Amino acid sequence: MCRLLTYPEPKISSVTSKKLELHLWYLSEELITLSLLDSRVTADTKKLMLAAMNEPAPKHPPKRPKADISAFSENKGLEQFCTANSKTLFRLLQLPTSFLTKDPSSWDDDEDYQEARKSVKRISCGQ
């Protein structure tokens, strides 16, 4: 998104970023937690996400991120969408959480992490 917003052709930047913005629903404070189970997300990013999840939750968090340069700057990542409310998904899906207290670089060897990943992969997104 940051690349689209800073693209040198303003018309292309505007049209493409508005289109991508329609697909940002998954960045809610609850659903962003699924990225903790994604092997493409680095351990460093997961550490930042966990730290953000341990901060007090805002009273009125945004339902979705706003597509502007400040929300998608090169200095910010997935952690900006995490709050204490992000842990809700683990409770709702009855996923194990013990691995959240460990270093993310060791999660691949953790049984609870593997169980949570398998459970999430089994979720059907059928119509």
Q: Is residue 20 part of a domain?
A: yes
Query: Does residue 16 fall inside a structural domain?
Result: yes
**Alpha-carbon span 88 to 31, nearest angstrom:** 9
Total domains, the chain: 1
User: How far is the C-alpha of 118 from the C-alpha of 42, rounded, in Å?
Assistant: 19
- Give residue 23's domain range: 2-121
pLDDT in tens, 51-96: 999 887 666 666 655 555 556 655 678 888 888 888 899 999 999 9
**8 Å CB contact between 81 and 29:** yes
Q: Would 126 be classed as within a structural domain?
A: no
Tokens of 24: 């940002």
Closest CA to 42 of 104, 87, 109: 104
- Tell me whether residue 100 is in a domain: yes
Each residue's pLDDT tens digit, 18-34: 888 887 766 678 888 99
Residue 127 counted as domain residue:
no
Q: Provide the Cα torsion 51, 53, 59, 65; round to 10°.
A: 90
Residue-level pLDDT at 81: 81
Query: Would 33 be classed as within a structural domain?
Result: yes
* Residue 78 covered by a domain: yes
Give the pLDDT of residue 19. Answer: 86
- Domain assignment of residue 99, yes or no: yes
